[in-house]
Amino acid sequence: MGKRELDIFQAALGLEDPWFIAESRFDVEAKRLDIDISFAPDARFDCPCCGEAGCRVYDARPLTWRHLDFWQHTTYLNARVPRVRCDACGVKKVRVPWAREGSGFTLLFEGHVMTLVRDMPVAPAARMVREHDTRLWRIIRHYVDDARAADDHGGLCRAAFDETSANGEQDFVSLFVDLDLKKVLFVADGKDSATVGAFAEDLTAHGGDPAAVAEVCIDMSSAFIKGTAEHLPQAEITFDKFHAVKIVNEAVDKVRRAEVKSRPELTRSRYAWLKNTSNLTAGQRDTIDSLSRRNLKTARAYQIRLTFQEFYQQPSREEGERFLKKWYFWATHSRLQPMIDAAKTIKRHWNGIVRWHDTHIANGILEGINSLVQAAKAKARGYRTLRNLKAMIYLIAGKLDILAST
């Protein structure tokens, strides 16, 4: 390859003195391009530890890095990387400008990978760049960890947390979200009270203060309630309204399942009873209207559920609490055991449910993030390790400044 072509490669790689391209070799059969980088014999380098300028070269060792393909040919950079003798630090290896320490890839290659995996599963991205996905996961975890280390959580005062399934029905991770910035701050293994403790420790490590967290939105998990009391001592709890409605909704389904044994007309009507009237299809609306005229227990339970949702439409906390008291009396005197049990669950969590009228916070943001996570899992057909899953959650929902690391 002539000098002009070598100069083009040098410009494309952004090499500056004392580095220069010495040679390039192309293997036609392997479709592989090797570019050899060298430095002047009399070159001197700064100490990579203390920065002392003009250190003499002690020796040099050959290293190779995978680079972005040129003309669809696999490309590698090869260089003898010098070690310098520093009077203060001893013999130290120089940092090369085209790759990070310890990586077998160039910075440009890694930047390309990080761009790809934001929008597509890692396995097809690995096929696209012709590398094993295990090596790509190492890149992803490195940049996610670096970006997280630099992330500042000092302004956190309102948080939401919830669990989501990981790899199978037995594995869970808990997501901790900043409600104001709408970003995942922390992902913990499991779903017990210790996850809140782990979050508090991580918050402190990132410049936040657990005592400054004034509001949290959670489901009615006893583990999260306990963890909040122990590790976020100043936080007031608002129970997520979608989880509260879900509890009453599930009670309606229990009533239907018990009644369908004696009332076969309820067969195949399950999903109609689980919807709000505004979401019913024309056929489902006809079904509800028809069945509601037959003095069914399920129809009564459905009306109790619809009325419970009106609690969230009340104009103030005072009116909301008065409304909820009347609803509670109705539900507990309905002679429908699942509805009675649901009402008693609401009673046990009364303050956190009524508090919604003070805060108007809910886990809708977290549910949206959870949908992104589950969609990513589905596209990737799962992740082999929790470590990989957590890295992907941070990447797609952590709003990390990955570019600062690449």
pLDDT at 370: 83
Assigned domain for 27 exists? yes
pLDDT tens digit sequence for 323-365? 999 999 999 999 999 999 999 999 999 999 999 999 999 888 8
Closest CA to 153 of 198, 194, 189, 202: 202
Are residue 379 and residue 396 in the same domain, yes or no? yes
| Distance separating alpha carbons of residues 272 and 281, to the nearest angstrom | 8
Closest CA to 238 of 370, 153, 336, 352: 352
pLDDT at 139: 96
pLDDT at 24: 87
pLDDT at 277: 87
Closest CA to 93 of 137, 145, 58: 58
Number of domains in the chain: 3
* Other CB atoms within 10 A of residue 180 CB: 13
Q: Which residues of 326-336 are buried (b: 16+ CB within 10 A; e: fewer)?
A: ebbebbbebeb
pLDDT at 373: 82
Assigned domain for 326 exists? yes
pLDDT at 169: 62
CA distances (Å), origin 259, targets 36, 275, 337: 78, 19, 12
Which domain covers residue 189, as residue numbers? 158-240+363-400
H or E stretch at 61: strand 56-70
pLDDT at 365: 85
Are residue 355 and residue 367 in the same domain, yes or no? no
Residue 332, both tokens:
């507990």
pLDDT at 246: 95
Low-confidence ranges of the chain (pLDDT < 70): 1-5, 168-170, 380-382, 404-406
Residue 130, both tokens:
């012709």
Counting residues of the chain whose pLDDT is more than 90, the rounded percentage is 79
| Distance separating alpha carbons of residues 37 and 34, to the nearest angstrom | 10
Domain stop point among 104, 120, 142: 104
pLDDT at 345: 98
Q: What CATH code is carried by the domain that includes residue 218?
A: 3.30.420.10
Residue 142, both tokens:
């490195």
Assigned domain for 173 exists? yes
Reduced to 3 states, what is the DSSP secondary structure of residue 348? helix
What are the φ and ψ backbone dihedral angles of 377, each rounded to 5 degrees? -60, -45
| Distance separating alpha carbons of residues 340 and 331, to the nearest angstrom | 6
Q: What is the DSSP letter of 316?
A: S
Assigned domain for 141 exists? no
pLDDT at 130: 94
| Distance separating alpha carbons of residues 404 and 151, to the nearest angstrom | 11
Assigned domain for 337 exists? yes
Domain stop point among 104, 124, 139: 104
Assigned domain for 185 exists? yes
Residue 269, both tokens:
């009507």
